[in-house]
Structure 1
Amino acid sequence: MTSRVSWSARLRYSFDKSMAGGTVALMGWLALVVLSLASAAGLFLALTHIGPAGSGPLDLRESLWQATMRAINAGPVAGDQGWSYRAVMLPVTLIGIVAFSALIGVLSAGVDAQIERLRKGRSKVLEQDHTIILNWSSSIFDVISELVVANQNQPRPRIVIMADKDKVEMEDEIAAMAPRLGRTRIICRRGAPTDLSDLGIVSPQQSKSVIILSPEGDEPDAQVIKTILALIHDPNRRTEPYRISAEIRDGANGDVARVVGGSEVQLVLADNLLSRIVVQTSRQLGLSAVFSELLDFEGCEFYSHPCPELHGETFGDAIQAFNTSALVGLSSRDGKVQLNPPMDTIITPDQTLVLIAEDDSAIVSSLTRSPQIDRSVIQQSRARPRPAERTLILGWNRRGPNIVTELSRYLSPGSRLVVAAKIPDLAGTLADVPLIGDGVVLETRVIDTCSKASLETLDIAACNSIIVLAHSDQLSAQAADTRTLITLLHLREMADRSGRHINIVSEMADIRNRELAAVTRADDFVVSNKLISLMLAQASENPHILAIFGDLLDEAGSEICLRPVGDYVSLDGPVTFFTIAEAARARGETAFGYCRPRDGAHGATNPGGVVVNPRKSEALDYRSGDRVIVLAVE
């Protein structure tokens, strides 16, 4: 049985619903109160013929006007004449003061609410050809800095950031950490990148590219994959494919991300990438500076460039056809890249050239064979024996197992690999880690790597090389780097005391600590966040870069090696890089730069004295200690 509801209850319910309309509804009710009061007073004045003393009665229109002015402005009531007229206008003025004050309060609250909404960053972005960054991590500042450089030639560069973080906090941190934005405008929005409605705020349909960072917190790879899924399968997505670059920490999750994203996603497998760079850097000191130079938008970059005039030429001959750029590989029509292919490989019409150049417009080929090759100074290749080594890994993080496996690939039979870290079950952690090298002995030691007494038990002087890993899994970036610095200081003091030079490569979590770490005189630093940021930024601008670095870091292909220049040419006088490139070509290698000690005259502005893609026709005096950068099979 339905109970009857009184009309007063229904009116109250209707009033409650109207009040739920927010600021506009409140303004409407207050305006209605003021106008109703003024209308009633004006009608009463007109009917009773009451008017100001000395002016006589007012008509209806004038009565309504006078009553309305008294309701919204208390000032004129003081000048009213005649007690009858005052008796009518005074209540109108008092009630009008209350109602109008409430109206001002509602307006103020509405403006405050709108400002707060804007502060929360929930308004839709109306931009075109912008770069979107989803999620927030310590890598974001390096990504922004690189995109600013990449977009210098764009008319209206825009970067839109969305993360589940306060908009003002994001803006403040960006202003502090990446202040040099030039003409680039940063737009921050708060939202969940895995939510379809929130993704619509940043207008991905009109974007140029999307970068998905690995977020801080639990299960970051799952969040990245869900974000890719939301972008790709959004019912309102555009028909053209997206250009998405995404960071995946665990390589095991890469296959799932590829299935979800298909050809629209380029994946940066962070842990696999960093593990290989750390290992290769420990074998080739100075390599991290080469990687940074190749990934940085300032200077030379990789380009995939068609060159019909070289079709039918061998790769080895085509190397010498470029003076201001460096040919390093070939790319097939399906996007597969082969760096440093066999020198007798014929360049076919379905292939493009992979070159290192300062700009796409600087790539100019000449089929005229260079006369600037001095074959008399070219040295013959000599095989170097690889003795057994003792390698020490200090510290531990999630990349440790990959580093152990990758490092064992390079060690000669009889080599010893010692892993020391403050991990209770370190031996159990490494029990299932595969060792690829034959005859490599793995040892584990549970010690505090910041304790000098503990380090003394490891026979540091007997080590050929040491890798110091950042404790980035358990500690913040700054705390992890502090422990790394303490370990490096102890190691350098112990090495100095032994009178031996020990190759020390350290992983740093924050690029800002690299200069501080220079006092430890470590041979090289791999800044993990910086390299991942560079790779993500490059992938968002260059669709071929991940295929290039995939082949570069593949154990089955060629890799970057830094070898003494004296192994290639004699150092008796000036030599052109054409000659060095020819000496490398005779060994099946591709030369594309050189490196000299940090106090060298050439390339002093580059980290580690690295010069990538030098002008081949320029003759330089190379010295003992200078190294040539080549692509070779290790």
Structure 2
Amino acid sequence: MKMITWRDRLRYQFDKSMAAGPIALIGWLAVISLIVIVIAGLFLALTGITPEGGEPVSFIEGAWESLMRTMDAGTMGGDAGWSFRGVSLVVTVAGIFVFSALIGVLSSGLDEKLDELRKGRSHVLEKEHTIIFNWSPSIFDVISELVIANQSRRNPRIVIMASKDKVEMEDEIADKIADLGNTRIICRSGDPTDLYDVNIVNPQASRSIIVLSPESDYADSEVIKTVLALVNDPDRRKEPYQIAAEIRDAKNAEVARIVGGSELQLVLADELISRIVVSSSRQAGLSAVYTELLDFDGSEIYAVEQPAIVGKSFGNAVMSYDTSTLIGICDTDGVVHLNPPTSRPIAAGERAILIAEDDAMIKLRSGDFEVDREIVRPPVHHQPTSERTLLLGWNRRGPIITQELSRYVAPGSELMIAANTPGLESVVAGLSYLTENLAVRCAVIDTTNRAALDALDVPSYDHVLVLGYSDDMAAQPADTTTLVTLLQLRKIADAANQHIGIVSEMIDVRNRNLAAVTRADDFVVSNKLVSLMLAQASENELMAQIFDELLDEDGSEIYMRPVTDYIAIDRPVNFYTVTLAALIRGEVALGYSRAGVSGHDPRNMGGVVVNPAKSDKVTFGANDRLIILAR
């Protein structure tokens, strides 16, 4: 074994101090400067060397002269006498070295600090901020919705943490979102599943937290681990968090709920989209209703206590609002009851679940109201008939759509699945669905090919659904393929001189307007809907529970039904009358959809009106429909 000498120890200690960073380097430069100044001062004092014609100097005076020449090389310009000039030259050269090194150290230290800031690893000290973990295409819609929600708040902040470069995140947000209003975005780079990194964004002081599903093969596992890091942090706050998390596979939902407990609202992305696709395929325009309820730019769902309706029956309470729509009750145990029996009394401490344009608009009507009972029609019962549905395209939501469709349709219905997906036959053979209601067939075809589509006899189907190939393609190529398919379907419909009911999934909301030329009946923008749901869940602790019931076939669902089933349309009618006609059937009227509406439609509502003022009169047409909440 080699013997460690004192030189080795000195070198080791020197190396350690040099590795300590700029402060240590500055310290060493100060030591070198002090040594040079002391030696020069002693030398001048002991040798008596002075400027030409000058008097001998003391140690203090000599040290001062040396210090001046160390700091300013120009000081020696006025020196006289070669001996004194020689000493000054040595001191000045040493000073040049020291200060040059000092500038280099400071510059290097500043660069290191800027690099550290660029990495986004500094701790966030914000309070009452919204945190978004992970990065996905949905993040831009989430931010856009939160910006709208933050308009009435003071100094709102959104803090984002993802395994992505901080500057890249900031640049992409600046490119995709033109107006952030009064909201400031703060980005941090880190691992959202790491306990230390999670604490960088200061969740203890946050008002809400959104956990997006990352673009990885183990997305759900990463989401669950992030939630685990939040709720099981030993240093976490005592108050509960308000967490909204996106889970793709419903099989992982139970584990996520165990981890997050009552602090977590789950958004089952694939189930949400699949159920809305199925509902919209059978009732065109329904996706616009869900979008209206989910976005912050229009009517929203609120859960607030309303002492004025305590003791009233639910039916009477519904008629008590003009500019708001009462749709349910949240009991004192936190359980949501949508469209409860009209005779159910509202108890103290229960919260009313209402649709309103703003929480300031939630107030009871003033004065009496009129109801035209003469035009209210008795309940009409339509016998369900079998249906034929064509599903073009395939992705991971296909099995859920098949299962959901089999629960809605009448026995004897058919589903034809056609997609350019290898191994489709084996996938379809393993699908789980209600075989007593639905017969499923499949074919592997190019869904953008006109001849292949003609061979399917598209006009013979009652409904056509178009899914994007999002499992195998990025968002833009998948939407491009969908657009080509829709254009081919439009040509087929024109050639047959027949309307074909088409509902299409779009992944990127920016392609929604491009698809308008295809004249499809409805579009379900998957990323947009998930983003809206997450944003709403971060603001409303009951939102996930409300939509679970809205999209559950055993709960109260939203339907689009002919207005003529409820009232006569031979005269203008206010919405109080429509509301009463629905209550007689044990239903709640949410709004209406006007047929054949054209013109400027920036929000792509397609004639859908949610939460109309009940006192306003409307003249309905024969093809108009009511938006109904019913069991």
- How far did residue 350 of structure 1 move? 5.4
Match of 2:119 in 1: 120
Match of 1:242 in 2: 241
For the aligned residues, what is the CA RMSD? 1.8
- How far did residue 407 of structure 1 move? 0.7
Pick from 470, 476, 479: which aligns with 1:478?
476
Q: Helix, strand or coil: the match of 1:159?
A: strand
Match of 2:42 in 1: 43
Match of 2:561 in 1: 563
Match of 2:386 in 1: 388
- How far did residue 77 of structure 1 move? 2.1
> Following the alignment from structure 1 to structure 2, what is the Cα–Cα distance between the partners of residues 382 and 248?
40
Asked if the contact 2:407/2:437 (under 8 Å) is kept, the reply is: no
- How far did residue 588 of structure 1 move? 1.9
> Following the alignment from structure 2 to structure 1, what is the Cα–Cα distance between the partners of residues 591 and 138?
28
Q: Helix, strand or coil: the match of 1:406?
A: helix
- How far did residue 216 of structure 1 move? 0.9
Match of 1:577 in 2: 575
> Following the alignment from structure 1 to structure 2, what is the Cα–Cα distance between the partners of residues 607 and 360?
22
> Following the alignment from structure 1 to structure 2, what is the Cα–Cα distance between the partners of residues 591 and 540?
27
Pick from 421, 428, 431: which aligns with 2:429?
431
The amino acid of 2:357's aligned partner reads: E
Report the CA distance shift for 1:603/1:514 in structure 2 as closer, same or farther (over 3 A). closer
> Following the alignment from structure 2 to structure 1, what is the Cα–Cα distance between the partners of residues 288 and 437?
32
- How far did residue 76 of structure 1 move? 1.9
Q: Helix, strand or coil: the match of 2:151?
A: coil
Asked if the contact 1:602/1:609 (under 8 Å) is kept, the reply is: no
Asked if the contact 2:369/2:576 (under 8 Å) is kept, the reply is: no
Residues 338-417 of structure 1: pairs in structure 2 closer than 5 A: 338-349=337-348, 351-365=350-364, 370-417=368-415
> Following the alignment from structure 2 to structure 1, what is the Cα–Cα distance between the partners of residues 300 and 203?
27
Match of 1:592 in 2: 590
**Residue 167 (structure 1) aligned with residue 166 (structure 2):** yes
> Following the alignment from structure 1 to structure 2, what is the Cα–Cα distance between the partners of residues 606 and 505?
14
Match of 1:90 in 2: 89
Report the CA distance shift for 1:308/1:603 in structure 2 as closer, same or farther (over 3 A). farther
Pick from 520, 543, 546: which aligns with 2:544?
546
Pick from 503, 508, 512: which aligns with 2:506?
508
- How far did residue 348 of structure 1 move? 3.1
Q: Helix, strand or coil: the match of 1:607?
A: coil
Asked if the contact 1:412/1:437 (under 8 Å) is kept, the reply is: no
Q: Helix, strand or coil: the match of 1:385?
A: coil
- How far did residue 603 of structure 1 move? 8.2
- How far did residue 601 of structure 1 move? 8.2
Please, which moves more after superposition, 592-601 or 255-264? Answer: 592-601
> Following the alignment from structure 1 to structure 2, what is the Cα–Cα distance between the partners of residues 199 and 66?
56
- How far did residue 581 of structure 1 move? 0.7
Please, which moves more after superposition, 565-574 or 410-419? Answer: 565-574
- How far did residue 367 of structure 1 move? 9.5
The amino acid of 2:489's aligned partner reads: L
- How far did residue 148 of structure 1 move? 0.9
Asked if the contact 2:406/2:437 (under 8 Å) is kept, the reply is: no
Report the CA distance shift for 1:597/1:112 in structure 2 as closer, same or farther (over 3 A). farther
The amino acid of 1:80's aligned partner reads: D
Deviations 1:475-533 (A, max 9, x none): 11111101111111111111111111111000011000000111111111000111111
Deviations 1:150-187 (A, max 9, x none): 11111110111000100000000011111211111110
Match of 2:333 in 1: 334
Match of 1:318 in 2: 317
The amino acid of 1:398's aligned partner reads: R
Match of 2:296 in 1: 297
Asked if the contact 1:196/1:230 (under 8 Å) is kept, the reply is: yes
- How far did residue 86 of structure 1 move? 0.6
Which ranges in structure 2 are unaligned for 5 or more consecutive residues? Answer: none
- How far did residue 100 of structure 1 move? 1.6
> Following the alignment from structure 2 to structure 1, what is the Cα–Cα distance between the partners of residues 226 and 170?
23
The amino acid of 1:362's aligned partner reads: M
The amino acid of 2:74's aligned partner reads: G
Asked if the contact 2:369/2:615 (under 8 Å) is kept, the reply is: no
Match of 1:284 in 2: 283
The amino acid of 2:162's aligned partner reads: A
Match of 1:268 in 2: 267
Match of 2:102 in 1: 103
> Following the alignment from structure 2 to structure 1, what is the Cα–Cα distance between the partners of residues 473 and 276?
22
Deviations 1:369-404 (A, max 9, x none): x54100112223333233322100011111110000
Match of 2:607 in 1: 609
Asked if the contact 1:395/1:421 (under 8 Å) is kept, the reply is: yes
Q: Helix, strand or coil: the match of 2:589?
A: strand
The amino acid of 2:315's aligned partner reads: G
> Following the alignment from structure 1 to structure 2, what is the Cα–Cα distance between the partners of residues 129 and 525?
36
Runs (4+) of structure 1 moved beyond 4 Å?
600-606
Match of 2:61 in 1: 62
**Residue 187 (structure 1) aligned with residue 186 (structure 2):** yes
Deviations 1:556-609 (A, max 9, x none): 012111122233222222110001111111222110211224635898866222
What is the percentage of aligned positions where both structures have the same residue? 56
TM-score, normalised to structure 1, is: 0.96
- How far did residue 439 of structure 1 move? 4.1
Which ranges in structure 1 are unaligned for 5 or more consecutive residues? Answer: none
